[in-house]
Structure 1
């Protein structure tokens, strides 16, 4: 973490520990309309204006170790191939044959030195170029050069692969903003995926994401699992341009919330040993940088009132039996902690759907979720959102400066 960001963290944490009143000059946040989580029209606006223009975390480079390694991104009613080519570059293509749209790859991950359509056997190389067409004489006007796979914008940052469905979007590093400075001192590029799983939820994706944008609920919902390890009274938030955020919470003893694994880097900066640093990264990703590794969570819509949480458990390179046992235990611990939250989500969605609750409220320590909702409106365009579903912008003046 760069010095300016570290000084801001420590300063605000010291102030927070002394705070006993609502901060002077900070506004009461207006109610957030419930229809944002139930209305099909709002979900359609998100699909059209939010998901198609944001950089989306799609994979981890270590999962594509050699030429031909591939993994499918399968969210948002799309299927995208992430593949490492012979030159080592990772590329992304829509998983659709240019002949009649059949998916080229049916397995979610594997290795393929060519993409051969299982329908009519059209073949493409790892650069997406069309190379073979059975009975090509039956297609007299076909130009192979103009019928390669449809590429998807793809860029990586320190081992994390992002895609964007807008070819004109700004570069990934511009989009990530302060994330670049906040992760200095944490060896992101050395992380590997120990486990991954999906959790389907009977709620809008934003309701699930909200849960991770505040610590207000931890003492109530997680009294024996998380609360004993976190000094909740020290919790601080920094809001950044682009809808991104940084959370910081001091730990109660030890440099991790969890048991130390068999292998752990010794060059992690002290800020990540002394504090839990979480980085909600717009639009739908949550990093929590613990020295033993962490759960990387992405939240994807499956409709206005259904969603899925994609969980990757990231740790350090090691293939020992002790390490495998450690991560088996971490999977069980993670599922238990998540279950403490998940049991509430469907009932929250029900209350919003049936009109029992017409708005939701956010306090000062929940301002991150309000900032997140503000950014959604900025991405969609406020004029395109029905007036009764908009959030009123309040927090731009409270954003933190970028580190030099």
Structure 2
């Protein structure tokens, strides 16, 4: 198993310890984590081709906020809070749609797709109202290789800066030209959001818990960590698998002319700080983010994209990919739900972390930098976050 160790500017005194269990269950800590880690983070919403025409919009709901991404009449993509400036009514429902204007269903205040407030019934009844000051609240937005990200607050690095170490590896996939294969999927999980991410970049569990991936990759699985992104990868081996869907994928994956030879049978995984991942295959790309609902529950938001390709072999291989990864996801769900239960045990504090577990070390380091109390193996007295 190949490994690459993250370059660290200064030694972390807790580098040999995992994050303690109380961080996965404690409500007070959870509130601090939302404020210091999740609200200042970038979150993927959709692909630019999902909002191809003026008025097309996608939404994302997380951390008590709802955000609209919309393409304006000027064809520019913008993001706004999904909140009317009058009485805080939600303007649109559902994950996607098209609207020439946003009309509030409560009192019919009307907003243009560039966020301007353009219509107010009984306007003269509001002596303090200035239309130009009551447009939709903007949300920071970034386009990266065609994907649309938003950030509620903060001034940390851009998505492009975080992903810069791997930009050259990603470029051949032409993801700017991709289109969605299916609507956004939401799947609830009875786990703290960090347990999903920890498992995603945990290299040691692959040969133990994922027979299918082990059959597909052999001993080629490798990991490495950069400051804001983890990379995992494996080459599909030539030895035919005993599993029919794995063997079908191995046998029938068609060539993809724009990819280098080394990428034709490469499964490439990236985890982007703090709670997003995308899986690059020759046939498609899967995005996933794990959004917290409570200290012990979260929701997986999943999307799949691909380049147009009407070859029958590609259609069938994409189905085989889904069948393979459905089993992997079920295995991971079983694991993380039981880890979550263990995190609630008073017998567990923090576990030793191996030198090879570079991705887990990198994530834990960033959490401890933002929340020093995360270094404590036992929770401090209640009220610590207000002192």
TM-score range, shorter-chain basis? 0.7 to 0.9
Q: Which runs of 5+ in 2 are unaligned?
A: 5-13, 240-244, 380-387
TM-score, structure 2 length as denominator? 0.84
- Matching residue within 204, 210, 232 for 1:247: 232
Q: TM-score, normalised by structure 1?
A: 0.81
Structure 2 residue 262 is the aligned partner of structure 1 residue 271: yes
Change (3 A) 1:31 1:129: closer
1:147 is aligned to 2:138: no
- Mapped pair 1:82 → 2:82: no
Alignment partner, residue 223 of structure 2: 237
C-alpha separation between the residues in 2 aligned to 1:301 and 1:264? Answer: 39
Q: Is the 8 A contact 1:186 1:272 kept in 2?
A: no
Number of the residue aligned with 1:220: 208
Shift of the alpha carbon at 1:50?
A: 0.9
Tell me which residue corresponds to 2:178: 191
Quick check: 2:368–2:375 contact (8 Å CA) kept in 1? Answer: no
Using the TM superposition, give the Cα deviation of residue 275 of structure 1 relative to its aligned residue in structure 2, in angstroms: 3.2
- Report Cα offsets for 1:109-151 as digits up to 9, x if no partner: 1100100001111000000000000111111221000000000
What secondary structure, in the 3-state scheme, does the structure 2 residue paired with 1:185 have? Answer: helix
User: Is the CA contact 2:291–2:299 (under 8 Å) kept in the aligned structure 1?
Assistant: yes
Deviation at 1:227, TM superposition (A): 1.6
Distance 1:361 1:297, change over 3 A: farther
Deviations 1:343-376 (A, max 9, x none): 2222211111132422234323322112112112
Corresponding position of 2:85: 98
* 1:165 equivalent in structure 2: 152
Quote the offset at 1:28 in angstroms: 7.8
The residue number in structure 1 matching 2:385 is none
Report the equivalent of 2:11. none
1:235 deviation in Å? 2.9
**Do 2:224 and 2:358's aligned partners in 1 also have CA atoms closer than 8 Å?**
no
CA contact (8 A) 1:246 1:279 kept: yes
Structure 2 Cα separation of the partners of residues 191 and 51 of structure 1 = 27
Give 1:46 shift.
1.3
> Does the CA-based 8 Å contact 1:36-1:389 persist in structure 2?
no
Deviation at 1:208, TM superposition (A): 1.4
Q: Distance in 2 between matches of 1:239 and 1:326?
A: 30
User: How large is the Cα RMSD of the aligned pairs?
Assistant: 2.8
How many Å apart are 1:69 and its aligned residue? 0.5
SS in 2 for 1:335: helix
CA distance in 1, matches of 2:236, 2:324: 18
Aligned to 1:66: 53
Q: 1:329 to 1:213 in 2, by over 3 A?
A: same
Identify which range, 260-269 or 98-107, moves more after superposition.
Answer: 260-269
Q: Structure 1 residues 30 and 311 mapped into 2: Cα distance closer, same or farther (>3 Å)?
A: same
- Does the 8 Å CA contact 2:266/2:282 hold for their aligned counterparts? no
